[in-house]
Homo-oligomer: A and B are copies of this chain.
Amino acid sequence: MSKRHTSLKDLATELGVSISTVSRALKNHPDISPELTRKIQQLANERHYTPNPLAMGLLRQQTKMIGVIVPDINTHFYSSIISGIEKVAKEHGYFIVISSSNESMQKEIESVDNLLNSRVEGLIVCLSQETDEFSHFHKLIENEIPLVFFDRVCEDLSVPAVLANGEEATQMITRHFYENGCRRIAYISGPGHLNISRNRKIGYLKGLEECHIDFDPQLLVNCNLSIEEARLATQQLLQLPNPPDAIFGMNDTIAFAAMIEIKKQGFKIPDDISLAGFTDEFHSIVVDPPLTSVSHPTFEMGKAAAELFFELLVKGENISKRIVLPIDLVVRQSSIKN
């Protein structure tokens, strides 16, 4: 079995002084004489003493842990956000415990419970796709336990959140398509109860209006965020009597699934159909043709979420702040018709 870490008691016994003396000496308390302080600190160094975080936690009633719930850890989008969170958490001496909801509301509820039972000091969460009911967050709000949402938020709850400006993004994409000669611009959206779906749809409609294109309901299709449904949605668009000349998907899964399906059906990108999506740089470059995409500021988003979290933690009050991060439209070959 692994040996115990050295404790204050160990040092105290070895030096024949009391525990409190050792404790004070290690933080240079003036009550302790210089020589004794030196002796104690030296031994502490030799024994590699570090305070036991469990004992400290018990004393201070804090665990230095933040719970993070994501729909799926297994994508660049979330893992990059997690990196951002982890960075600022570490700077504050905190560490993060990650729990994946797998896009299931049931698992999300369990995660909240588990993390709370593990005494995390608060939660940073991105709602699962299924989540349309929010009572599992009530106890956090009532007890003023820090909680911040990112990307997917609940509009009804006054919870601080950080999100990307999806509305502006989709509006930009729509306009970009228009300026490149597209007139039948289709949009594959996600589930309607997700705020990100709604916002992006709004931007899409605004963009159409701006370009004086009438909205054609046939060109707006919904899907959940799975590859299969995204492919089906694409098929549906391609089979239209008057198919679109541009498609954009609301996240990278959809965009890539659409790309596969479009190619499979023999359409050329971008000549027959322009394509754009929301995704990160690496994947956009590696596909053929390189994908025009909105680059999410994922790392920044994680950082912002964590900073918001710590603001909550120290201030205590429930500052209901909402941070909207700008996005970037990176134009690549998939949307430039020859």
Residues of chain A whose beta carbon lies under 8 Å from any beta carbon of chain B: 1-5, 50, 52-55, 57-58, 61, 63, 73-76, 79-80, 82-83, 86, 95-98, 100, 117-119, 121-122, 143-146, 227, 256, 259-260, 263, 282-283, 285-288, 316
The smallest beta-carbon distance between A14 and chain B, in angstroms, is: 19
Which residues of B have CB within 8 Å of A4? 61
Which residues of B have CB within 8 Å of A263? 288
Which residues of B have CB within 8 Å of A144? 1-3
Subset of 13 A-B contacts with CB under 8 Å: A2-B143, A2-B146, A52-B58, A54-B57, A54-B58, A73-B79, A73-B83, A73-B86, A74-B79, A75-B79, A83-B100, A96-B97, A283-B283
Instruction: Kindly report which residue of chain B lies nearest to residue A102, judged by CB atoms.
Output: B83
CA A82 to CA B52, docked complex, whole Å: 27
Q: Given A61-B4, A286-B259, is A52 in contact with B119 using a C-beta cutoff of 8 Å?
A: yes
CA A76 to CA B146, docked complex, whole Å: 30
What number of copies of this chain does the assembly contain? 2
The smallest beta-carbon distance between A197 and chain B, in angstroms, is: 22
Which residues of B have CB within 8 Å of A2? 121-122, 143-146
Could you tell me if B100 and A86 are in contact, using CB atoms closer than 8 angstroms? yes
Could you tell me if A53 and B119 are in contact, using CB atoms closer than 8 angstroms? yes
Which residues of B have CB within 8 Å of A80? 74
Most buried by B among A57, A80, A145: A57
- 16 further interface pairs, Cβ-Cβ under 8 Å (given A58-B58, A79-B79): A1-B316, A2-B143, A2-B146, A4-B61, A52-B58, A52-B119, A54-B54, A54-B63, A54-B119, A73-B86, A74-B80, A86-B100, A96-B97, A259-B286, A287-B288, A288-B288
Could you tell me if B95 and A118 are in contact, using CB atoms closer than 8 angstroms? yes
Instruction: Kindly report which residue of chain B lies nearest to residue A111, judged by CB atoms.
Output: B90
Instruction: Kindly report which residue of chain B lies nearest to residue A59, judged by CB atoms.
Output: B54
Instruction: Kindly report which residue of chain B lies nearest to residue A316, judged by CB atoms.
Output: B1
CA A76 to CA B283, docked complex, whole Å: 12
Q: Given A3-B143, A5-B119, A144-B2, is A286 in contact with B256 using a C-beta cutoff of 8 Å?
A: yes
A82: contacting residue among B73, B76, B122, CB under 8 A = B73
7 nearest A-B pairs in the assembled complex, by CB-CB distance: A288-B288, A2-B145, A54-B57, A50-B117, A79-B79, A256-B286, A54-B58
Could you tell me if B58 and A55 are in contact, using CB atoms closer than 8 angstroms? yes
Q: Given A79-B73, A118-B53, A118-B95, is A287 in contact with B285 using a C-beta cutoff of 8 Å?
A: no
Which residues of B have CB within 8 Å of A118? 53, 95
CA A97 to CA B76, docked complex, whole Å: 19
Instruction: Kindly report which residue of chain B lies nearest to residue A97, judged by CB atoms.
Output: B95
Which residues of B have CB within 8 Å of A83? 73-74, 100
Which residues of B have CB within 8 Å of A100? 83, 86
Which residues of B have CB within 8 Å of A97? 95-97
CA A287 to CA B283, docked complex, whole Å: 9
